[in-house]
Chains A and B, each alone.
Chain A
Amino acid sequence: MSSTSNRPASPARLPLLARMLLLPRTWAQARGDGMVEDRPVLTLLSHVVLILGVAIVAFPVYVTFVASTHTVQEVLAAPMPLTPGSHFVENYLTALERGAGESSAGVGRMMVNSLVSALVIAIGKIAISLLSAFAIVYFRFPLRGFFFWMIFVTLMLPVEVRILPTYTVVSDLGMLDSYAGLTIPLIASATATFLFRQFFLTIPDELAEAARIDGAGPLRFLRDVVVPLSRTNIAALFVILFIYGWNQYLWPLLVTTQESMYTIVIGTKRMILGGDAAVEWHLVMATAMLAMLPPALVVLLMQRWFVKGLVETEK
């Protein structure tokens, strides 16, 4: 297992920190798991690189947080302070209530808009994809292949390639500046439909047969068997789609003109318009923190489903 021959230094000659790190290593080896060989310096290097990586990844958010706890004068001083200030509560309350800069809409309102859109998008996508996949897997009917193909092709038509004409359709339907306009055009989902279809194909045929013999119709079977069996898939998809919905930018940018309909992501961006001097950076940064918080919490608290969802939606 271990090749001690090319070990760079004997533990006694290593600095204290390295010797401390040696302890868990030997313990791990006593358990017989983990590392192929015994290279304390490499292990130390691993931790150094990872800690550095974590620090760099966290740095922009740390600076944002610090800026959100100071007054605008302190933020504008070069260099701005790098430790949190004392205006946390004040800044966040101001942002939530009245927003920043020219914008008159409070961030609280924007967060409600974001929450409603994210929930409608996530639940809507899951619901209509579940129904479509159920129809495609459990029925034989004319044009089945054609419908499946139609759903598949939407993968190749992201909103970015049909910006203007989609806007026209939504505007013709009178859906601008409404929750319907923010969400319905986004709720078709080829990915979710595929995922459910794949999963339904693994459900044993015997279950459907048994249901039929017992006299249960398709909708009863869907409600009492298929949906409960799909619970983990639904949870995983929900995490991914909630983040997707919350983080939408281009679409809400097109369909919202009134500040009262802005999502928080749009709001954050709008607050920095109008030149450096006019921008209330401390409030913008508080808003940015609030914009990141809900999806980050979802990722952290539902990590298991998040990872499952990420991996599965890419299949």
Chain B
Amino acid sequence: MAVGKRAVFQSRWLPYALLAPQILVTVLFFFLPAGQMLYQSVHIQDAFGGSLQFVGFDNFRDLLRDPLYLASFKVTAVFSVAVAALGLAISLVLAVFADRVIHGAGAYKTLLIWPYAVAPAVAGVLWMFLFNPTLGIVAYWLRQRGVDWNYLIYDGQALLLVILAAVWKQVSYNFLFFLAGLQSIPKSLIEAAAIDGAGPVKRFATIVFPLLSPTTFFLLVVNIVFAFFETFGIIDAATSGGPGQATEILVYKVYKDGFKGLDLGGSAAQSAVLMAIVIALTVVQFRYVERKVQY
């Protein structure tokens, strides 16, 4: 708990009044629904939509036996690993080069960071428009080169499309943090290695990259959280989870089963699993990602 101030004010009611709005919102829209979700996850609704019946962990057992759910897990894993790996690699390359140039570094930075401002759902629309099999310009170029492009039919292509859109959206964020990390590496270290005859590639591999590892690890966690939870809009706008379940990540499935399919118990159990994942990621973030970027 918080380190304290020596100087504090005295009041019996004021601190509670100051906290009230935040606590009210928290209880009403976070704890109450989360409690309800956990409650529903161990119940099923009878066939007439009436009373709830306690079923223990049956919902979870059903979930883990459901091939569609396991498939969604697999899609999420492939998707988040690809988004994180591609996003980190591309932004690291861009940051390394931007750190190298002296003239125009600021302009490059400005020109690379703005996709952060684009809503995921809008990013989904943009990329879907580029790759749309009937009118997309990129789809047209691909067909010219003999590629049978139709993400509405081919699973792999649909997954690739949402990965590209998500990477496009996330590169700006990674780039900023990598650039800050690179700029915090003392120039004297690099110069010393250069004098010893190490070329740029060797210097990157033996000095720069190891010194960037806290930043890289931090970004890895952030990117996985992004891919898991913040790409809902991209998926919904670009593919709606399809074709079939090819791009149905866990968050999308919770939404679809709960909101469209109205399967209360199953959706609640899925939410509980997601909550466990968020908790695990938050713990990792707080325990192991202490100092991310040294400024």
On whether the beta carbons of B125 and A162 are closer than 8 Å, the reply is no
**Chain B's nearest CB lies how many Å from the CB of A225?**
12
On whether the beta carbons of A163 and B258 are closer than 8 Å, the reply is yes
| Mask of A36-52 contacts with B, CB within 8 angstroms, 1/0 | 11010011011101100
On whether the beta carbons of A64 and B126 are closer than 8 Å, the reply is yes
On whether the beta carbons of B259 and A163 are closer than 8 Å, the reply is yes
Question: Which residue of chain A has its CB nearest to the CB of B192?
Answer: A36
On whether the beta carbons of A162 and B21 are closer than 8 Å, the reply is no
Question: Which residue of chain A has its CB nearest to the CB of B271?
Answer: A161
Residues of chain B within 8 A of A57, CB atoms compared: 111-112, 115, 168, 171-172
Residues of chain A within 8 A of B194, CB atoms compared: 1, 3, 36-37
Question: Which residue of chain B has its CB nearest to the CB of A277?
Answer: B134
On whether the beta carbons of A34 and B102 are closer than 8 Å, the reply is yes
Residues of chain B within 8 A of A288, CB atoms compared: 122, 125-126
On whether the beta carbons of B5 and A201 are closer than 8 Å, the reply is yes
On whether the beta carbons of A39 and B200 are closer than 8 Å, the reply is yes
Selected interface stretch from B48-56, B76-84, B274-282: B274-282
| Interface SS of B by simple majority | helix
| Interface SS of A by simple majority | helix
On whether the beta carbons of A295 and B19 are closer than 8 Å, the reply is no
A54 partner, pick from B103, B108, B191, beta carbons under 8 A: B108
B30 is an interface residue with CB less than 8 A from chain A: yes
Q: How many residues of B contact A (CB 8 A)?
A: 109
On whether the beta carbons of A49 and B94 are closer than 8 Å, the reply is yes
B19 partner, pick from A135, A269, A303, beta carbons under 8 A: A135
On whether the beta carbons of B9 and A139 are closer than 8 Å, the reply is yes
In residues 82-139 of chain B, which contact A (Cβ within 8 Å)?
A: 90, 93-94, 97-98, 100-104, 108, 110-130, 132, 134-135, 137
A221 is an interface residue with CB less than 8 A from chain B: yes
Count A-B pairs with CB separation below 8 Å.
Answer: 324
**Chain A's nearest CB lies how many Å from the CB of B166?**
13
In residues 179-228 of chain B, which contact A (Cβ within 8 Å)?
A: 180, 187, 190-191, 194, 197, 199-200, 218, 222
On whether the beta carbons of A161 and B18 are closer than 8 Å, the reply is no
**Chain B's nearest CB lies how many Å from the CB of A226?**
12
Please report the C-alpha to C-alpha distance between residue A292 and residue B5 in the assembled complex, in whole angstroms. Answer: 43
| Mask of A209-243 contacts with B, CB within 8 angstroms, 1/0 | 10010000111010000000000000000000001
B255 is an interface residue with CB less than 8 A from chain A: yes
| Mask of B228-264 contacts with A, CB within 8 angstroms, 1/0 | 0100110011000000000000010011001100001
On whether the beta carbons of A185 and B34 are closer than 8 Å, the reply is no
Question: Which residue of chain A has its CB nearest to the CB of B109?
Answer: A303
Q: How many residues of A contact B (CB 8 A)?
A: 121
| Mask of B20-38 contacts with A, CB within 8 angstroms, 1/0 | 0111011111111110110
A53 partner, pick from B94, B104, B232, beta carbons under 8 A: B94
A305 is an interface residue with CB less than 8 A from chain B: no
B101 partner, pick from A37, A47, A134, A155, beta carbons under 8 A: A47
| Mask of A10-53 contacts with B, CB within 8 angstroms, 1/0 | 00000000000000110010000111110100110111011001
Chain B CB within 10 Å — which of A1, A3, A187, A188 has the most? A188
Selected interface stretch from A88-96, A105-113, A306-314: A306-314
Chain B CB within 10 Å — which of A168, A221, A314 has the most? A314
Q: Indicate whether A162 sits within 8 Å of B140 (C-beta atoms), given known contacts A50-B101, A187-B25, A292-B117.
A: no
In residues 262-315 of chain A, which contact B (Cβ within 8 Å)?
A: 265-266, 268-269, 272, 276, 281, 284-285, 288, 291-292, 295-296, 298-300, 303, 306-307, 310-311, 314-315
Residues of chain A within 8 A of B3, CB atoms compared: 201
B292 is an interface residue with CB less than 8 A from chain A: yes
Residues of chain B within 8 A of A272, CB atoms compared: 125, 128, 237
Please report the C-alpha to C-alpha distance between residue A42 and residue B200 in the assembled complex, in whole angstroms. Answer: 9
On whether the beta carbons of A150 and B7 are closer than 8 Å, the reply is no
On whether the beta carbons of A78 and B7 are closer than 8 Å, the reply is no
Residues of chain B within 8 A of A168, CB atoms compared: 33, 36
Residues of chain A within 8 A of B229, CB atoms compared: 158, 160
On whether the beta carbons of B23 and A150 are closer than 8 Å, the reply is yes
A154 is an interface residue with CB less than 8 A from chain B: yes
On whether the beta carbons of B137 and A80 are closer than 8 Å, the reply is yes
**Chain A's nearest CB lies how many Å from the CB of B206?**
14
- A sample of 17 inter-chain contacts (CB < 8 A) reads A46-B98, A50-B104, A53-B90, A64-B126, A78-B134, A78-B140, A131-B19, A140-B8, A147-B23, A154-B30, A160-B229, A161-B34, A161-B271, A185-B29, A298-B117, A300-B110, A310-B116
Report the 9 A-B pairs with minimum CB-CB distance, sorted nearest first: A165-B33, A247-B119, A295-B117, A249-B233, A135-B18, A139-B15, A165-B36, A208-B7, A185-B29
Taking beta carbons and an 8 Å cutoff, which residues of B are in contact with A?
1-12, 14-16, 18-19, 21-23, 25-34, 36-37, 40, 90, 93-94, 97-98, 100-104, 108, 110-130, 132, 134-135, 137, 140-141, 168, 171-173, 176-177, 180, 187, 190-191, 194, 197, 199-200, 218, 222, 229, 232-233, 236-237, 251, 254-255, 258-259, 264, 267-268, 271-272, 274-275, 278-279, 282, 292-293
